Structure 1
Amino acid sequence: MPSLRSFAATDRFITEIADPATLRPGYVLIGDEIFLYDRCRRAVLSTLIPPDTRDFSLHDIDLAETSIFEALDRAQTPSLMAPFQVLFLRNLKTLYGRGSKKEEFAAIDTYFRSPNPQALILFVADHLRIPTDLRKMDYQDKERFERIRETLGDWCGIIELARVDESDAIKWVTTTAESRNIRFDPDAARELVDSLGADMMLISSEFEKLLLYVSAPAPAAPNNAVILSGAHSAQPKDPEESNSATALPSFQPPVSTEAPQTPPLARNRVTLGDVETMVLAAKQRSLYELTDAISAKDRPRALLLLHGLLNASDGGEDAAIGHLYMLARTFRQMLIISEKNVRDPRAIWQVLWQGFRMPPFAAEDLIKQARRYKSRRELTRAIRLVARADLELRSSPANKLLVLERLILDLSTEPKPTLYKPSHQFAMEL
């Protein structure tokens, strides 16, 4: 795999621990990129810890439950069961909480002045978020990062687990697939990375699923056209011959004259359609494109996107209720964004609760779509239209496609102003 800038820190770490001459007594894995952390951890286990001694040489310690004094004492004490020890110390933020922590850092300095050569300490600082561009790091995270560097940088190697750049993620997808003899189309790789917000943990999971999908052999078509030879002898010629106890059976087993069919080979190629079919976030992208056309009142594009969404669905029109659910959910999100007057994508996580948030790639687009609606009444009207279409679909209509097309046309049309007519009747919507 070619060297990628986003993987440079982990590549350097893997190279250092492989050579006893460059191995340092401690490292700080700083950042919340889980994919890169797992990459470092797997390298440590495969390089420094044999599988048969892993139970005695690997220690996962939570500093919120175990004091740093006890952890350092365990690292300083040689093990009788394993020649080398590795200690992962989590919750490093407890050392930088309230109080000066002078005794704790004094103990750390004392240990690293004379460390155990048969032990490796790995501090895990996953409470910091390091963006791809360090200039965009949050001010508070930057202060914490500098404090860790000042206190541990003299003794430990600092390994930055920053967010992976989108271009590097795309290259990782294509090159990793090529190493497994599978072609990953560039537009498919770009769609996979973009739809998952360059989250490498999600990308790697969906990547494995896609490779299994395209590398599995396709099911063989059933062969019903079987030509039988000797079929004329399957029925006895003489009725008396069949009643004779000594007559030999004249039935011959059917023999196929066609060559046996072998199952088709796997495609070993991932296309854009495969990503749109298998990855949920890519399906959601098509939905947000549909709501974008609806909010822009672009009726022709909205109808085209609707048909494309139905054609890409496994259930076709039968999945219409699921699409209506996502439409209603999206309009509810836009309603909250409009009511809270959200302008910055980072503020979305404050107004939308866990489980009701959109994918990261859609945050900015959804804010733009919500601002196209002039009032709360327009958004509530859209939600009512979706609810009415949902009721029609659950009533088993003759044509589900017509119901969906009418809904899209209604949503993409400017509401007509209604004159106020006084009435003595009141209705309450539930």
Structure 2
Amino acid sequence: MASLKSFAGTDRFLAEIAGPTPRPGYVLAGDEIFLYERCRKGVLAALVPPDLRDFCLNDVDLADTSIFDILDRAQTPSLMAPFQVFFIRGLKNLYGRGSKKEEFAAIDTYFRSPNPQSLLLFVADHLRIPTDLRRMDLQDKDRFERIRETLGDHCGIIELARVDEADAVRWATEAATARSVVFEPDAARELADALGADMMLISSELEKLLLYVTAPIPQNADTAPLAKNRITLGDVETMVLAAKQRSLYELTDAISAHDRPRALLLLHGLLNASDGGEDAAIGHLYMLARTFRQMLIISEKNVRDSRAIWQVLWQGFRMPPFAADELIKQARRYKSRRQLTRAIRLVARADLELRSSPANKLLVLERLILDLAAEPRPEHAAPTSQFAMEL
């Protein structure tokens, strides 16, 4: 696979590790898990024989083990293995409260005369390094500078920055080609865009797509089964959840703009693209309720920038990265909390109706979309009802 710009730092690191004179320590800085796993696998392949892994591989965390104990173990030759590798997580604990003068003095002393049979790898996964370093958060920038000032003289600094979207597309295309599968350009771009160039998600979803298109397609009795061996845009939209969600955000965009004809067209497109058709309606209602809840929080917290979304929406309740700016725009179309809670109530009412086995599910959904896309009317106080759908 051709070298990609986003992978250049890890490529240099792996080449240095496999070379004759690696440094005694490195800092793997950044929370890009895909690149971290790439570095880890390369280190294990180069320095950790599988039959000695229990004796020479050390995964430690500074939250549980002091740096003094780790350095003492690194300085002591192993009786069972010729080389030791230490993956040291929880690096942020060295930069918490207090000056940590003794800890950094011990690190300085060790690296002045390191054990040539040990390699220390500090994992700074509390940092988020964007593709463009100029856009790094100020807090992350300060933390990164402190790491450079304290460990930079002794350790190589490997930046595990977010992968550029163009590189993610090239990587996916070349990975598919290596498996004798053609990845159509518009399909590869949709995969990277829908997943926000998150390489761990891309690699996972690509594996699923490869299995899908290489599965034998039954032919008639006289011919052998054939595989498609081509990933199309339709395959990505069918198999990748985030790509499916894109249509949902287009639907909420039409709803928030009170564009009823477009909203109905998007509803029918969403149902036609669903494997279960109308039977998937409950799932669509769940996603609609979730999206309106996200908009409600965005509106109440007065979020104006996509970077602030990750502070107000908790893990497991966030939208895909590509939808962040779009959802902020949609939330700002609602002028009051009442308008958004009205939308949530309408979805809950439709959910209750669908669970009651109506004669026509499509009619229930169309009426819901028309109500959601209508200009909200003043509501009179009415007794609240408990709906079946968990909001």
**Percent of aligned pairs sharing the same letter:** 82
The CA RMSD over aligned residues, in Å, is 1.9
Q: 1 CA distance for matches of 2:312 and 2:96? A: 28
C-alpha separation in 1, matches of 2:142 and 2:335 = 42
Q: TM-score, normalised by structure 2?
A: 0.93
Aligned pairs for 1:68-107 within 5 A: 68-107=67-106
Alignment map for 1:28-427 (pairs within 5 Å): 28-220=27-219, 260-263=222-225, 265-415=226-376, 427=382
Question: How far off its partner does 1:374 sit?
Answer: 2.7
- What is the alpha-carbon distance in structure 2 between the residues aligned to residue 9 and residue 367 of structure 1? 34
Judged with a 3 Å threshold, the aligned counterparts in structure 2 of structure 1 residues 354 and 160 are, in CA distance, closer, same or farther, namely closer
- Deviation of the 1:163 alpha carbon: 1.0
Per-residue CA distance 1:233-281 (angstroms, 9 max, x = gap) = xxxxxxxxxxxxxxxxxxxxxxxxxxx4422x11111111111111111
- Deviation of 1:417 (Å): 6.3
Alpha-carbon distance in 1 for matches of 2:366, 2:44: 56
The residue that corresponds to 1:241 in the other structure is none
User: Residue type of the partner of 1:129?
Assistant: R
Rate the CA distance shift 1:126–1:359 in 2: closer, same or farther, 3 A: same
**3-state SS, counterpart of residue 275 of structure 2:** coil
Distance of aligned partners of 1:44 and 1:387 in 2 relative to their CA distance in 1, 3 Å threshold: same
Structure 1 residue 4 corresponds to structure 2 residue 7: no
CA distance in 2, matches of 1:101, 1:164: 34
> CA 1:176–1:383 in 2, change beyond 3 Å: closer, same or farther?
same
The code of the aligned residue for 1:5 comes to K
> Displacement, 1:12?
0.5
Name the aligned partner's letter for residue 271 of structure 2: L
Which one-letter code corresponds to 1:294 in the other structure?
A: I
Distance 1:51 1:332 in 2: 49
Within 2, Cα distance between the matches of 1:125 and 1:354? 20
CA distance in 1, matches of 2:124, 2:318: 26
Separation in structure 2 between the aligned mates of residue 55 and residue 144 of structure 1, nearest angstrom = 33
Answer yes or no: is the 8 Å Cα contact 2:218–2:224 preserved in 1: no
Q: Distance in 1 between matches of 2:209 and 2:149?
A: 44
CA distance in 1, matches of 2:351, 2:2: 51
Cα distance, 1:25 vs structure 2: 1.1
Whole-Å Cα distance in 2 between the matches of residues 386 and 103 of structure 1?
59
Matched, 1:428 2:383: yes
Corresponding residue of 1:249: none
Offset of residue 401 of structure 1: 1.8
| Structure 1 alignment gaps of length 5 or more | 224-259, 421-425
Q: Could you tell me the TM-score, scaled by structure 1's length? A: 0.85
Q: 1:371 to 1:266 in 2, by over 3 A?
A: same
Superposed displacement of residue 337, structure 1: 2.2
Residue 389 (structure 2) aligns with? none
For the pair shown, which has the larger CA radius of gyration, 1 or 2? 1
Look up the equivalent residue of 1:405 and give its one-letter code.
E
What count of residue pairs does the alignment treat as equivalent? 385
Tell me by how many angstroms 1:331 deviates: 1.7
